[in-house]
Structure formats: structure tokens, C-alpha cells
């Protein structure tokens, strides 16, 4: 037995599955059904699996290379995961967490189906009652015998029991199915939101309303592979896991919109609920008949929209009563309202992609609470009529905008802002410009005038009015000439033939003292003058991983400042760290309250042992590490980088950490990515 995987007492986190873990392997490695690794350099990996009593592995979706691994009952899961994480060929290893149906206790009912009036369903049905759209329902299954559902169900699958019978054995799934798409105008029972839609039952929760991440991830991938464009998930839990994050991304990459309950945990700490809190998931909170957000509904910046969730009638199946009708409360009830609305919109506009569909639902919502998007209602309470009206508008995908401010022009001479699509505009007296009524697509924006040519910037628009890109520009001379290689200097400056650039003076001293080649990389430009975001000109120099900015007014080492390249690269890719799901403090990790993220191994050790030299003493303090890298602005996540390989990465204000197996932690070449995108170097 290897000590890393052994332990007299298994140490399980609360809410995890005993005797199981989830293991994702890098391309080139795989697991057999018996739990043995195949590929190169997997001897230690196999030894760890054998020592843990691994008895089987199940791939969580074709070609996912992600496995549910069964291990011995006495295995210390925590130690095994820590040991596996450092092995060649392993992308990540983690516990198999449980998720729970998002239902709250019943309250007294005053009226029946009050929500249909609240969200203007009757008027919306005058426009459409739905078409041949499938809503994949990941839940406890659905009763096939229920008279309001029997004609609406496609052949689904039971991933909880691994068979072809996704019948309900708890009742929760039958309830949510009725809210979304019960048969209507049939003289019996209740009315679902999307009359014409089909339900694909995907059973991922058992008879107690619980299921694990491995099962749910399989269900998501399978539903997407069956062609489902809408996935309704009235379930969740507080853990942000790699396997769940990847399954959600799999759906988004294939144009499927996941709609999920925000959770019922407001009174229990109001922690973010996953999968709802992932950026590409439409998170739904619950409202009452007075349009107030309920006291149980989990709220937070991740909430996108609200929908009725109290005292709602729907189809019911109970083990002791069979099929009937009844009332439930919870964000579980809110979620299928929005899923049904999405199906109505998709009936009218099947060409909508997942992001456009989400934005139509948000645009159509009745703004409640604080003006604009807020942590309780998101963009507002669902309005079914307004949603289908927007979907029916032939011009709805031609109303995006690009705007911003141009600073640093020369001698008051006019400047021109140009779009790659041909439009041009001149900024007003304050430097503000705006282009309206832009259709979906990618745009390049450039600014030209007497001050030179400002950096070109890119934006992608969805076409809806919610898609507004803000691009600010500051004039500076053309910097590309400073990236052309130079010859060997005659003044004694350091020369780097690898890139053909020199390093001298203050920047050379700073480079040598604070990390040199491993931290900053080779210089990729000469020193030149660049205008900063504050409109002032600075002497700067670019390196493979960083940008130095000279501030002679400050005492060393603050006379050289490092740019927030981590933040800049995310923005360049259309991402914002503000939208990344936050976490709570974790054992053995350092939590950064300012950004809401934790720093754990293996990245924690690297962060702690590197930093600027501020105090002249051996070792690195918290302040010295913070000064070099900044705070984390994401959790560790799997990303495919420019080499086509997938790595666990974590973003920081001024860096990106990458886990490269035996090679350890490497820093991303963020400056190269930035200058390449600007066209300064190839």
C-alpha cells in the first residue's frame, strides 16, 4: 500500500460519495473499465489506483476522458486525490459531490396557478403555445402514466440506476415537468408553460431527491448529445467542481442553454448554488404572488432572472398515491417556468444560440427591486408575453451597441472611430462615441487621427440590446516598431538573442532582482513610450509574461509597476473575472476576501515561494507574493490553451498559473498573448 492513498479512517467531506472519486486524464491516457490506466508514464498512477483498491471506472460521457472511479472502502479519499493530482497524465482528481432537489416546505395556497396571470402567460399563448422543442429535464424522473404528461414524454434514460426506465420514484421530476410543459387546453388538470413541447426525462436523482456529480455530469452530456437545446435543472449544491463545470461548458459549447434553480439556502448562509452559479447557466430565483423574492430563495450576483416559486399547482406523483395534482414551493418550481418560456421563444426563433436565448429571457423580464440587474431578481421577474414578443421581433438580433471614450488626441484635432463592418463615427467633446443597431458578430474597432493610431480592439456581440461592448481608447504612437528585433548593442546593455532585444538601466535591475527569466521571460520589445489608461505617457517595456511601466517618482521597488495582464487577457477574450463563480474559505487554502477566491495546492506553494523582494530578507512574505502576482481572480479551472492541450489553470490579477504535471507550475505567456492580439508582434 502506498501511504499517499492509505489511511485507517476514510476522510470524506460532507456531501460526498463514499468509495468514489472523479478522475480526468490528459489526452493520451485513459482508464479501462477495471480501473487501470493506459498510456505512457502511468506506472505510478496505476500503483496508486491499485493501492486504493480501485475496482472499476466508468467514463462520464463519450470522449470526455473523465471517469467515476470506485475505490476500496478504507481508502483515504483526500490523500488519494492529493497524490493523483501530481501524476503525469492527470488533469484533475476530486471527490464525487452530492446535489439535491431544490424544493422547499409547503405553505398555504390562496389561489390556483396564480403565476400564469403574473407572468402574462394567457396573452403569450395568443402568439404561440410552443412547437417541436425538447426540454431535457434532469431530475428524479417523470411519471409516464400521468394524464397531463403521458403524451409529452420522449424516451429518456435513468443514469441513477443505469437503465432505460427514467420513471419517477420520488415525485420532484413529475412536478417540474408539469410546470414546464404539461398538456393544456385538454379539459383536465393544469396548464404547462409550453403546451407543444416535449419532455426528455433524464433521471439523475434518486428516491430521496439526491444525486452525485458523476451521474449529473453524465446526464448533461447525454441530453446535449440527444440534441436538447434547453436543459432544466431544479437541483444543486454549494460545491464548484471541475466535473460539473466541464459538463456545463460542454453544453454551452454545443449551443444548449442550461437553466438552473438558484437554490433555497438564503437562511442557511446564502452560499452560491451550483450549477446555477456558473456564468453560462441561467440562474433562477423564486418570487411570490406579490412579486417579492421569497425568504428561502438563494440570491447573489449570479442570479439572472426570477420566476414564481410559491404555492404553485402542477402534476404530482407520490409513491402512496400515484398520479394527481398538488402544490409545491421552491426555486425548483421557478426554474421550469423559465425553461418553458425559453422553449416558447425557441419555437419562434430556432436560430437563436444559447446566449441570445438567455438574453431574450432577461430582456423580457419585468424589472423589480433595484433598477437594472440586482442580486435578488437578476434582470427581473419572468414576463412570458414580453419574451415571445421579443422573439417574434424580426430585428431583435440587430440591436447591439459598441461604445466608449477616446482620450489623448493631439491639439484638438478630430479623431475617427471605425468598425470593421464599415461604419465610422467621431467622438463628441468628451471623447464619447457609440454605434447602435449592430447585428450579431465579431467587430474590430480602430481609432485614427492626428495623434496617431490607437490600439485596435475586438468585440463580439450577440445582436440583442443587452449586448453592449465598452471599448475605451487612448492615443499613443504606433508601438509595433518597438517590437522589431535589434542588433547587438554597443553600450553594454544586456542582449537577448532569443528575441533580439536589449534590457538596460532600471528595468534591467528590476528584472534581475525580482525573478529574471523564470518569472518575466525574455524582453520582447525595446523601451518605448506608451499612453496608459489614465491618459499619461509612460516608459514601458514588454516581456513574455509581463509589462514593465516606469514610475521614477516612486522609490524602488515601486518605481517599476507591473500591469494587470491577467485581467486584461480575460477582457480581451470577452470574459470578466467579476462573473466567475466565487467560493468560500477552504481548509488548507488561503482565502482572498477581496476577490472571493481561494488559493490551494499546487498553486499555493508556487505563490508562496515567489514574489517581489521588498524587505531584503530570505523567503517571500504574503505582501511580496501579492505584489508580484496579485490576488486570484478565479478558482482553478480546466482550460484549453494555445498548444491545444487542456490544463488546470488559475487566473490572478497579473498572472495565469498553469499546472503542467511533472514540469510543475508554469506562468502563462500573457504579454505575448496581449501583444500578439494587438498585432505588435507575431
Query: Which residues belong to the active site?
Result: 139, 172, 332
d(CA 421, CA 408): 25
Cα-based angle 580, 584, 588 (whole degrees, multiple of 5):
115
d(CA 503, CA 516): 11
DSSP 10-46: --PPTTEEEEEEEEEE-TT-EE-TTS-EESSS-HHHH
Copy the grid coordinates of residue 372: 437594472
Pairing state of beta strands 37-38 and 235-236?
Answer: unpaired
DSSP 424-447: EE---TTSEEEEEEEPSEEEEEEE
d(CA 563, CA 162): 51
| Alpha-carbon torsion, ordered 162, 168, 169, 173, to 10 deg | 110
- Describe the crossing of helices 384-392 and 354-364 by its angle, rounded to 10 degrees: 130
| DSSP-derived 3-state class of residue 179 | helix
Q: Exposed, middle or buried, 641 (CB in 10 Å: 0-12/13-18/19+)?
A: middle
Contacts of residue 478, defined as CB under 8 A and 6 or more positions apart, other chains included, come to 452, 453
Half-sphere exposure of 341 (CA within 13 A, CB side): 39
CA-based torsion, 661, 666, 670, 675: positive or negative: negative
CB count in 10 Å sphere of residue 373:
18
8 Å CB contact between 674 and 568 = yes
d(CA 152, CA 149): 5
What is the rounded end-to-end Cα distance, in angstroms, of the chain?
51
**Residue positions counted in the chain:** 682
Q: Specify whether the backbone of 26 is left (phi greater than 0), alpha (psi in -120 to 50) or beta.
A: beta
DSSP 200-255: EEEE-S-TTSEEEHHHHHHHHHHHHHTT-SEEEE-EEBS---HHHHHHHHHHHHTT
d(CA 547, CA 83): 36
d(CA 25, CA 43): 14
d(CA 202, CA 213): 14
Pairing state of beta strands 198-203 and 157-158?
Answer: parallel
d(CA 660, CA 658): 6
Phi then psi for residue 242, to 5 deg, are: -65, -40
d(CA 26, CA 29): 6
The helix (run of H) or strand (run of E) holding residue 318 is strand 312-318
Alpha helices in 263-330 (DSSP H): none
Q: 3-state SS of 454-466?
A: CCCEEEEECCCCC
8 Å CB contact between 55 and 9 = no
d(CA 276, CA 283): 5
8 Å CB contact between 502 and 374 = no
Amino acid at each position: 500500500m502506498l501511504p499517499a492513498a492509505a489511511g485507517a479512517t476514510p476522510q470524506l467531506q460532507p456531501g460526498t460519495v463514499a468509495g468514489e472519486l472523479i478522475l480526468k486524464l490528459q489526452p493520451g491516457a485513459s482508464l479501462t473499465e477495471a480501473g487501470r490506466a493506459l498510456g505512457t508514464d502511468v506506472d505510478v498512477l496505476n500503483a496508486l489506483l491499485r493501492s486504493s483498491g480501485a475496482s472499476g471506472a466508468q467514463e462520464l460521457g463519450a470522449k470526455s476522458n473523465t471517469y467515476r472511479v470506485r475505490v476500496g472502502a478504507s481508502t483515504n479519499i483526500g490523500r488519494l486525490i492529493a497524490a493523483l493530482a501530481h501524476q503525469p497524465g492527470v488533469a484533475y482528481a476530486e471527490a464525487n459531490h452530492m446535489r439535491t432537489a431544490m424544493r422547499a416546505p409547503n405553505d398555504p395556497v390562496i389561489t390556483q396557478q396564480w403565476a400564469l396571470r403574473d407572468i402574462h402567460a394567457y396573452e403569450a399563448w395568443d402568439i404561440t403555445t410552443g412547437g417541436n422543442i425538447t426540454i431535457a429535464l434532469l431530475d428524479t424522473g417523470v411519471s409516464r402514466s400521468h394524464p397531463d404528461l403521458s403524451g409529452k414524454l420522449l424516451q429518456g434514460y435513468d443514469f441513477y440506476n443505469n437503465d432505460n426506465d427514467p420513471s419517477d420514484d420520488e415525485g420532484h421530476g413529475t412536478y417540474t415537468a408539469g410546470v414546464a410543459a404539461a398538456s393544456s387546453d385538454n379539459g383536465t388538470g393544469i396548464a404547462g408553460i409550453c403546451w407543444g413541447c416535449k419532455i426528455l426525462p433524464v433521471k439523475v436523482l434518486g428516491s430521496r431527491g439526491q444525486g452525485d456529480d458523476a451521474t449529473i455530469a453524465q446526464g448533461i452530456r447525454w441530453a446535449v448529445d440527444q440534441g436538447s437545446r434547453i436543459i432544466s435543472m431544479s437541483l444543486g449544491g454549494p460545491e464548484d467542481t471541475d466535473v460539473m463545470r466541464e459538463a456545463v461548458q460542454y453544453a454551452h459549447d454545443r449551443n444548449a442553454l442550461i437553466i438552473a434553480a438558484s437554490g433555497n439556502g438564503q437562511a442557511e448562509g446564502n452560499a452560491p448554488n451550483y450549477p446555477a452559479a456558473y456564468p453560462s447557466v441561467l440562474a433562477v430565483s423564486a418570487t411570490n404572488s406579490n412579486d417579492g423574492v421569497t425568504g428561502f430563495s438563494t440570491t447573489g450576483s449570479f442570479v439572472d432572472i426570477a420566476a414564481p416559486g410559491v404555492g404553485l399547482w402542477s402534476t404530482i406523483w407520490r409513491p402512496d398515491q400515484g398520479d394527481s395534482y398538488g402544490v409545491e414551493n421552491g426555486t425548483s418550481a421557478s426554474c421550469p417556468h423559465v425553461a418553458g418560456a425559453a422553449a416558447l421563444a425557441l419555437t419562434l426563433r430556432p436560430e437563436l444560440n444559447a446566449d441570445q436565448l438567455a438574453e431574450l429571457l432577461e430582456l423580457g423580464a419585468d424589472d423589480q427591486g433595484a433598477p437594472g440587474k440586482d442580486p435578488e431578481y437578476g434582470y427581473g421577474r419572468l414576463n412570458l408575453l414580453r419574451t415571445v414578443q421579443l422573439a417574434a421581433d424580426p430585428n431583435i438580433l440587430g440591436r447591439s451597441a459598441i461604445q466608449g471614450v477616446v482620450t489623448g488626441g493631439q491639439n484638438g484635432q478630430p479623431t475617427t472611430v471605425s468598425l470593421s463592418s464599415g461604419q465610422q463615427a467621431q467622438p463628441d467633446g468628451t471623447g464619447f462615441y457609440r454605434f447602435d443597431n449592430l447585428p450579431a458578430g465579431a467587430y474590430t474597432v480602430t481609432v485614427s487621427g492626428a495623434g496617431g493610431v490607437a490600439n485596435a480592439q475586438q468585440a463580439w456581440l450577440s445582436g440583442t440590446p443587452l449586448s453592449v461592448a465598452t471599448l475605451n481608447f487612448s492615443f499613443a504612437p504606433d508601438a509595433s516598431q518597438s517590437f522589431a528585433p535589434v542588433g547587438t548593442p554597443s553600450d553594454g546593455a544586456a542582449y537577448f538573442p532569443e528575441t533580439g532585444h536589449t534590457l538596460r538601466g532600471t528595468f534591467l535591475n528590476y528584472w534581475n532582482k525580482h525573478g529574471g527569466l523564470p518569472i518575466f521571460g525574455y524582453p520582447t520589445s525595446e523601451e518605448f513610450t506608451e499612453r496608459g489608461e489614465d491618459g499619461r505617457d509612460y516608459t514601458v517595456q514588454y516581456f513574455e509574461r509581463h509589462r514593465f511601466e516606469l514610475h521614477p517618482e516612486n522609490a524602488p521597488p515601486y518605481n517599476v509597476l507591473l500591469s494587470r495582464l491577467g485581467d486584461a487577457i480575460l477582457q480581451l477574450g470577452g470574459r470578466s473575472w467579476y462573473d466567475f463563480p466565487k467560493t468560500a474559505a477552504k481548509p488548507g487554502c488561503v482565502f482572498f476576501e477581496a476577490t472571493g477566491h481561494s488559493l490551494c495546492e499546487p498553486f499555493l506553494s508556487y505563490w508562496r515561494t515567489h514574489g517581489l523582494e521588498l524587505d531584503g530578507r530570505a523567503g517571500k512574505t504574503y505582501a511580496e507574493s501579492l505584489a508580484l502576482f496579485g490576488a486570484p481572480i478565479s478558482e482553478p479551472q480546466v482550460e484549453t490553451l494555445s498548444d491545444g492541450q487542456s490544463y488546470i489553470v488559475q487566473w490572478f490579477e497579473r498572472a495565469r498559473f498553469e499546472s503542467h504535471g511533472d514540469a510543475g507550475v508554469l506562468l502563462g505567456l500573457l504579454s505575448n498573448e496581449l501583444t500578439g492580439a494587438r498585432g505588435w508582434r507575431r
